[in-house]
Amino acid sequence: MPWNPRVPFVRRRVAAWRRRADEPGELLYVALGDSAALGVGTADLDASYIGLIAHRLQRLAHQPVRVVNLGRYGARTDDVLDRQLDALADAERTWGRPADLVTHAIVADVPCFHFGQREWDARRISRTITDAVRAAGLALAPLHRVTEFRRGWGSFPDFGWDQFHPSRRGYRVWESAFAGAVSRRARELCADVGGAA
């Protein structure tokens, strides 16, 4: 990553997520993505959408969760395909089994432009992603739809200091897009171990 004023923050954030990956957990949650996956825009890992998803999974599955965040600042789809999927396979080999939950949000920190050609492009891309995810039988987090409803001046607090990445409040909105799929997965995991959600 070429140097810019965010570089020191991003390096500290990546290091913090690496330390978090060393914490014990019965369930393995692997996050793929970009700067939003790293939680840029908030000072607290637990306030990022990845942290919030991990807490939801742990609360509903009644098991501690190990979080491996493979997000990369500035990542695009080719980064996920070329680097992050290999790193996911490495994490699963290290863990000795497949991840219990994998989330992927790329270029997601601009899910809704609210106006003009960029919004129409975002809608078109969102429909394409929705169709592909459903065709593959995967769970969809309707991030564009969730953020699309939060338009205008009222959404100003949803953004961090750079007015690009989500804030603590904005990441709660993002996590709400994942909530249904994560809750369903937690119930499946409880059923796998004979528990009840």
Q: What is the CATH number of the domain that holds 90?
A: 3.40.50.1110
Percent of the chain with pLDDT over 90: 53
Asked, for residue 84, whether it belongs to a domain, the answer is: yes
The alpha carbon of 187 is separated from its chain's Cα centroid by a whole number of angstroms, namely 20
Residue 47 has pLDDT above 70, yes or no: yes
Residue 109 has pLDDT above 50, yes or no: no
Per-residue pLDDT tens digits for 65-101: 999 999 999 888 888 889 999 999 999 999 999 999 9
pTM for the full predicted model: 0.87
Q: Cite the beta strand spans of the chain per DSSP E.
A: 27-33, 65-69, 101-105
d(C-alpha 95, C-alpha 97), whole Å: 6
179 Cβ partners below 8 Å, 6+ apart? 56
Neighbours of 83 (CB within 10 A): 14
The alpha carbon of 10 is separated from its chain's Cα centroid by a whole number of angstroms, namely 16
Asked, for residue 1, whether it belongs to a domain, the answer is: no
Asked, for residue 197, whether it belongs to a domain, the answer is: no
Per-residue pLDDT tens digits for 142-163: 887 888 777 666 677 888 777 7
Q: Mean pLDDT across the chain, nearest whole number?
A: 87
Asked, for residue 50, whether it belongs to a domain, the answer is: yes
d(C-alpha 176, C-alpha 53), whole Å: 9
Asked, for residue 134, whether it belongs to a domain, the answer is: yes
d(C-alpha 189, C-alpha 197), whole Å: 9
Domain that holds residue 47: 7-192
Asked, for residue 2, whether it belongs to a domain, the answer is: no
Domain count, the chain: 1
Asked, for residue 130, whether it belongs to a domain, the answer is: yes
**pLDDT value, residue 128:** 85
Q: What is the mean pLDDT of residues 166-173?
A: 91
Asked, for residue 121, whether it belongs to a domain, the answer is: yes
**pLDDT value, residue 192:** 81
